[in-house]
């Protein structure tokens, strides 16, 4: 009994016109294409893993877009998928398309005895208004703030008693 199988001859994959390096590059490219799905496919997988695996991610996105933004921090605790969705620019776009907007007031509040002022958002809850502190946004004493669209520009101020020419951009849609 004889068994035969085809195997590539040499290190060039059986093609006498190819260099061995070219064969290795092609193999690496094929593996990379298999391993790396496109960004949209990754996004699709993330959204599908949220908590509604049977719903299309567009429908999940629209449902979340209808929720009030003040609920997003609680929503982001549910899963990584919801956290990703709550911080997604696509969610803001969906809210804009639906005409779902909420007015919020940003305030820089500081006291002379504290080291520096902090940013707060005045949020309307079901019953009352409350101030929510945003720790991750920097601000210096004496800064000037200019708002254009959803972006605030925080300009200058004093840092450690010295004048600074820092400019910070804050995207009010995502508090970043």
Same domain membership, residue 72 and residue 110: no
Q: How many CB atoms lie within 10 A of CB 86?
A: 20
Same domain membership, residue 120 and residue 90: no
Q: Is the predicted pLDDT of residue 3 greater than 50, yes or no?
A: no
Domain that holds residue 83: 50-98
Each residue's pLDDT tens digit, 82-113? 888 887 888 888 888 888 777 778 888 888 77
What's the confidence (pLDDT) of residue 151? 86
Classify residue 45: in a domain, yes or no: no
What's the confidence (pLDDT) of residue 108? 84
Same domain membership, residue 119 and residue 90: no
Confidence of residue 175 (pLDDT cuts 50, 70, 90): low
Q: Average pLDDT of 144-164?
A: 86
Same domain membership, residue 134 and residue 88: no
Classify residue 144: in a domain, yes or no: yes
Same domain membership, residue 130 and residue 148: yes
Classify residue 43: in a domain, yes or no: no
Q: What percent of the chain has pLDDT over 90?
A: 1
Return the sign of the alpha-carbon dihedral for residues 135, 136, 141, 146: negative
Least confident range of 33-42, 66-75, 82-91, 104-113? 33-42
DSSP letter, residue 71? G
Least confident range of 24-33, 62-71, 140-149? 24-33
Same domain membership, residue 158 and residue 139: yes
The answer for residues whose C-beta is within 8 angstroms of residue 106's C-beta and 6 or more apart is: 119, 120, 121, 152, 170, 172
What's the confidence (pLDDT) of residue 26? 55
What's the confidence (pLDDT) of residue 68? 78
**Domain count of the chain?**
2
What's the confidence (pLDDT) of residue 10? 44
Classify residue 131: in a domain, yes or no: yes
């Amino acid at each position: 009994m004889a068994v035969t199988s085809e195997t590539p001859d040499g290190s060039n994959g059986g093609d006498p016109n190819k260099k061995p390096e070219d064969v290795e590059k092609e193999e690496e490219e094929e593996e990379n294409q298999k391993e790396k799905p496109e960004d949209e496919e990754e996004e699709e997988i993330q959204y599908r893993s949220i908590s509604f695996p049977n719903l299309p991610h567009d429908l999940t996105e629209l449902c979340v877009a209808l929720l009030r933004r003040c609920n997003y921090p609680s929503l982001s605790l549910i899963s990584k998928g919801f956290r990703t969705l709550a911080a997604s620019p696509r969610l803001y776009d969906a809210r804009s398309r639906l005409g779902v907007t909420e007015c919020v007031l940003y305030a820089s509040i500081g006291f002379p005895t504290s080291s520096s002022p902090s940013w707060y958002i005045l949020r309307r809850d079901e019953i009352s208004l409350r101030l929510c502190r945003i720790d991750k946004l920097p601000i210096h004493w004496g800064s000037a703030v200019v708002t254009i669209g959803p972006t605030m520009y925080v300009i200058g101020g004093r840092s450690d008693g010295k004048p600074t020419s820092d400019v910070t951009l804050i995207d009010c849609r995502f508090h970043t």
